[in-house]
Amino acid sequence: MQPVVPAQPAGAAQPSAPLHSAVELQSPVGAAAVASASPLGTQSAAHRPAIQISTPVSAQISATMSGQLTEFPFRDGDRFRAGDVLARFQCGQQKATLAHARAEYVKRKGLLEVQNRMKALGQWSVSDLRSASADVDAAEADLEMGTAVVAQCTIVAPFNGRVSNVLVHNYQYLSPGTPMLDILDDSSLELSMIVSSMELQQLRPGTPYKVWIHETDHTYDAVVTRLSGKVDPVSKTIKVYGQLVRPEPDLLPGMTGDAILTN
């Protein structure tokens, strides 16, 4: 006589099938597809710290005087050369002051020459000669001041570069120190990254590496140029600077990517 197996109540959970491990369920084809999607490949020996492109030469140009802009030719993204006029202010009053100072200098210098001739003839006064000489010095100082003020009416580019931001408009009235535009020299881009201080044994000025940039989806050759002056004692990291081996016109300051440092 066979033993009777009790029937399972209605709605009772049925025994589940044995669970397969994650390794058994992973598809080798799917894993290869995920790896191939990475632009940097699957090199296990590569370190990929984040990297940023910057420019070592940049400046914010501010108003040097109070006045109205009469010439403001460059827009965001425009290129310029050293010596080009970046901004010019209305300068009639300053030029008139300079002209007056120049005329006063000529006048005082002439009076001093008269005193010197009288001295040569023996018809001179020590106090008159000293006074005439002091007047020339004062007039010359006023002339130099007037020349400096007029020079502030025009702002010229200090280097070859590109406008990266425009903050004012032509014909606008500005106060001294008002930011007008940001400029940079993009002819020599700089790369910076933060790496573990343990990498110092492999990273030295001249060490080659590669960098992949997100915005262009391209890889470029680079070389280490210098290291930061200290290691962060908390994170045990150090900042490393580099540059591209060849100029790349499609790269701009502010772009980011990953550095590929092979052991």
Percentage of the chain beyond pLDDT 70 is 82
pLDDT in tens, 25-77: 343 344 333 333 445 444 444 568 999 999 999 999 999 999 999 999 999 99
Q: Locate 209 and state its tokens.
A: 């590496």
> Across residues 107-135, what is the average pLDDT?
90
What is the tally of helices (H) and strands (E) in the chain? 4, 15
| The predicted structure's pLDDT at residue 122 | 84
Question: Could you give the residue ranges of the DSSP H alpha helices within the chain?
Answer: 22-25, 28-36, 92-120, 126-151
| The predicted structure's pLDDT at residue 30 | 41
Element (DSSP H or E) covering residue 31 = helix 28-36
pTM over 0.85: no
Higher-pLDDT residue of 203 and 11 is 203
| The predicted structure's pLDDT at residue 263 | 59
pLDDT in tens, 137-193: 999 999 999 999 999 999 999 999 999 999 999 999 999 999 999 999 988 899 999
pLDDT in tens, 231-256: 999 999 999 999 999 989 899 999 99
| DSSP for residue 232 | B
- What domains are defined for the chain? 43-57+185-262 (2.40.30.170), 91-152 (1.10.287)
Q: What's the distance, Cα to Cα, between the start and end of the chain in Å?
A: 75
**Closest listed residue to residue 147, CA positions, set 137, 156, 139:** 139
Could you give the angle at the alpha carbon of 61 between the alpha carbons of 242 and 166, nearest 5°? Answer: 90
| The predicted structure's pLDDT at residue 176 | 95
| The predicted structure's pLDDT at residue 121 | 87
> How high is the mean pLDDT of the chain?
85
Q: Is the pLDDT of residue 226 over 70?
A: yes
